[in-house]
Amino acid sequence: MTALPVSPAPAPSPAGEPLVDVRDLKVHFPIRRGVLIDRIAGYVYAVDGVSLQVRRGETYGLVGESGCGKTTFGRGLLRLVEPTGGSAMFDGTELRSLKGEQLRRMRRRMQMIFQDPLSSLDPRQSIDSILSEGLKAHDLYGSQETAGKKLRETLTAVGLPASALRKYPHEFSGGQRQRIGIARALILQPDLIVADEPVSALDVSVQAQVINLLDDLQVEFGLTYLVIAHDLAVVRHISDRVGVMYLGGLVEEASSDDLYADPLHPYTRALMSAVPVPDPEVEDARQQILLAGDLPSPANPPAGCRFHTRCPWKQETRCDTERPELRELTPGHRVACHWAEDVKAGKIRPHEVSVELVRPSGAGPGDGRVTETVAEVAGTLPPKS
């Protein structure tokens, strides 16, 4: 592979320094009601106070199930949706205070790879045009000749032939399209790439190719990744550190090996035990923690610990009243659970969670997309605070 010409980057912060430093980020979407009078009936607490750091050169994996806010977090960080609270520092600059042109210039350094490679590529643009659009937007195009060279080098780096330049997205297979998506992000020589479900739309054999490619590119170009995915096995494979999200909050964060060897939060444990492993011996031997019910609605999240309604380790006190802070239990291993030590030591045994149906107040029919995810089953749902 040929290396891209390295641009004179502004003195980079040394490796290991946080490149991204997010404090208490919040993204709340208003639920609007009314025809004539625009009234805000409540909020969907999609991301509700997430703090995390991504160090330069590392891969940070963010996992969680659908509706936990992981995608919104990624978009909020890049200000593709406007955060409603907290701060997001990128290489020493507060992203939330940037405006217009400043923000646009900063965007070159933080690129995104999307989940569905077909719908994120314009079907009427040739690959040449897709890749050079970013260069032109950031005044990096230069002459036809140098740009052409850059395009070809980038394509080689992602494993596509130079002949791809004249083709259109529909002429490629899913895996190749995702490579184009990666090339589009890569050509601007970003510091950070936010990859939102980069491989979940791909077949298993192609998925492995793309994962390996992301790995290689990171080594070659010294990229920093924030990978957002629901597949715990994929995230563990590519990430140095992993954060687990549940209903808008980070519940556990640890190095990828630690998280697997010693999951501390009850939700992580359940999640881990639910991932099928392609090995009959392991499958036959393992003990699953089956969670009762579904994710409660982020418009009406449970008070206290967000997970207490489904938690097999739930205790009488604190869980339903006090929201646990993320605290460091062992070096580098943060967990948001009041009883993490006791759960770890085995002092608290898991118990049955009764599946009981509660219709939360204020969530009648007609709530539209909110009712769809409204908590069905899960202990008792406290009234909206």
Residue numbers at the binding site for other proteins (CB under 8 A): 65-66, 173-176, 203-209, 211-212, 215, 230, 232-234, 236-238, 256-257, 260, 270-284, 288, 290-291, 293-295, 355-357, 365, 371-373, 376-377
Find residue 377's DSSP bridge partners: 357
Nearer to other proteins, 364 or 383 (CB): 364
User: What is the spatial distance between Cα 170 and Cα 177, in angstroms, rounded to a whole number?
Assistant: 8
C-alpha distances out from residue 230 to 198, 210, 271, Å: 11, 16, 10
User: What is the spatial distance between Cα 60 and Cα 58, in angstroms, rounded to a whole number?
Assistant: 6
- Min. distance of Cβ 297 from other proteins in angstroms? 10
Structure tokens at 14: 């040394």
Nearer to other proteins, 5 or 276 (CB): 276
- Min. distance of Cβ 259 from other proteins in angstroms? 10
Nearer to other proteins, 87 or 371 (CB): 371
Nearer to other proteins, 22 or 270 (CB): 270
- Residue 168 neighbours by CB distance under 10 Å: 16
- Min. distance of Cβ 267 from other proteins in angstroms? 9
Nearer to other proteins, 138 or 237 (CB): 237
Nearer to other proteins, 379 or 382 (CB): 379
- Min. distance of Cβ 124 from other proteins in angstroms? 22
User: What is the spatial distance between Cα 218 and Cα 185, in angstroms, rounded to a whole number?
Assistant: 13
Q: 188: which residues sit within 8 A by CB, 6+ positions away?
A: 108, 109, 111, 134, 135, 138, 140
User: What is the spatial distance between Cα 43 and Cα 28, in angstroms, rounded to a whole number?
Assistant: 6
DSSP states of 105-139? HHHTTEEEE-S-TTTTS-TTS-HHHHHHHHHHHTT
- Min. distance of Cβ 30 from other proteins in angstroms? 22
- Min. distance of Cβ 93 from other proteins in angstroms? 32
